[in-house]
């Protein structure tokens, strides 16, 4: 579904990604782990089209997407949930979600209503707060809104960056339960998460990243591969 080959990127004179290779299959959750600053978020931004100075290849369903504008990549079916969430604070929960409907063109009013209803079914907290402004939501509720806003666009591949950072344990449980459900429904997920032990509960494959490249790849269900991952990222 997603194939990254020899991907390089730069911020100014800094060579951030130094030959990243990664494959993500339909319905699979791949965890991308490593210390801060090793290139995990940059990899996601590159796939989403937020970074332009790239070399190498990014293919989605067999078609090259590197160099495309973010809105075009989004409409192909790739949803990016960034670490900072980017909720519109002056809009209500419902208005934020309705903006998410613009990710997919050509849907009828009925199809849009179904998409909104599904989002509220997945996130009952958001339904309770659908008239609240984004700025009044808790951190966990904003994270839920950021994920829901992507989902109403009917995205098949989800790039989720640090979804549980700074959240209360109960909210962390809810977020992971939602990601597990999305995976069961057939969504492919590329996940960056500092809570490695929790992330290992839902990942099919695991990748360790260091200095702009993937240095280890393994089976998320293998005890030996999990141990190797922990050593590689010094957790």
Instruction: Note whether residue 184 is domain-resident.
Output: no
Asked if residue 150 is part of any domain, the answer here is: no
Residue 9 domain boundaries: 1-77+200-235
How many structural domains are present in the chain? 1
Residue 195 near residue 32, CB atoms below 8 Å = no
What is the Cα–Cα distance from 67 to 45, expressed in whole angstroms?
12
Residue 101: inside a domain: no
Distance CA 156, CA 150 (A): 10
For 59-115, how does the pLDDT look when each residue is reduced to its tens digit (9 = 90+)?
999 999 998 999 999 999 999 999 888 888 889 999 999 988 887 777 888 888 998
Entry field: residues in the chain: 235
Alpha-carbon distance of 144 to 93, in angstroms, equals: 10
Nearest alpha carbon to residue 22 among 2, 40, 47, 8: 2
Round the average pLDDT of the chain to a whole number and report it: 92
Q: Where are the beta strands (DSSP E) in the chain?
A: 2-11, 14-24, 29-33, 54-60, 63-64, 78-81, 157-161, 188-192, 205-210, 213-219
- The answer to whether 163 and 133 have CB atoms below 8 angstroms apart is no
Note whether residue 5 is domain-resident: yes
pLDDT at residue 142 in the model: 92
Please state the pTM of the whole predicted model.
0.92
| Neighbour tally for 52: CB within 10 Å | 10
With respect to residue 66, please indicate whether it lies within any of the assigned structural domains. Answer: yes
CATH number of domain containing 226: 3.40.50.300
Q: With a cut of 80, say whether residue 235 has pLDDT above it.
A: no
Residue 64 lies in a domain: yes
For 208-230, write each residue's pLDDT tens digit: 999 999 999 999 999 999 999 99
For residue 43, the 8-state DSSP code is H
Query: Is 9 part of a structural domain of the chain?
Result: yes
């Amino acid at each position: 579904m997603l194939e990254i080959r020899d991907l390089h990127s730069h911020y100014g004179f800094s060579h951030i990604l130094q030959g990243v290779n990664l494959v993500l299959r339909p319905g699979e959750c791949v965890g991308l782990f490593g210390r801060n600053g090793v290139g995990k978020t940059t990899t996601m931004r590159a796939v989403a089209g937020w970074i332009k100075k790239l070399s190498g290849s990014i293919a989605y369903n067999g078609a090259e997407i590197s160099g495309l504008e973010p809105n075009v990549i989004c409409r192909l079916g790739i949803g990016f949930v960034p670490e900072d969430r980017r909720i519109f604070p002056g809009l209500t929960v419902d208005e934020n979600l309705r903006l998410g409907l613009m990710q997919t063109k050509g849907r009828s009013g009925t199809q849009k209503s179904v998409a909104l209803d599904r989002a509220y079914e997945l996130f009952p907290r958001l339904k309770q707060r659908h008239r609240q402004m984004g700025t009044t939501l808790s951190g966990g509720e904003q994270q839920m809104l950021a994920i829901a806003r992507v989902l109403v666009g009917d995205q098949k591949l989800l790039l989720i960056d640090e979804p549980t950072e700074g959240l209360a344990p109960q909210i962390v449980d809810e977020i992971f339960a939602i990601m597990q459900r999305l995976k069961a429904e057939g969504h492919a997920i590329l996940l960056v998460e500092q809570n490695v032990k929790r992330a290992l509960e839902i990942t099919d494959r695991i990748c360790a990243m260091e200095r702009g490249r993937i240095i280890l790849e393994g089976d998320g269900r293998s005890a030996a591969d999990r141990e190797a991952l922990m050593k590689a990222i010094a957790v």
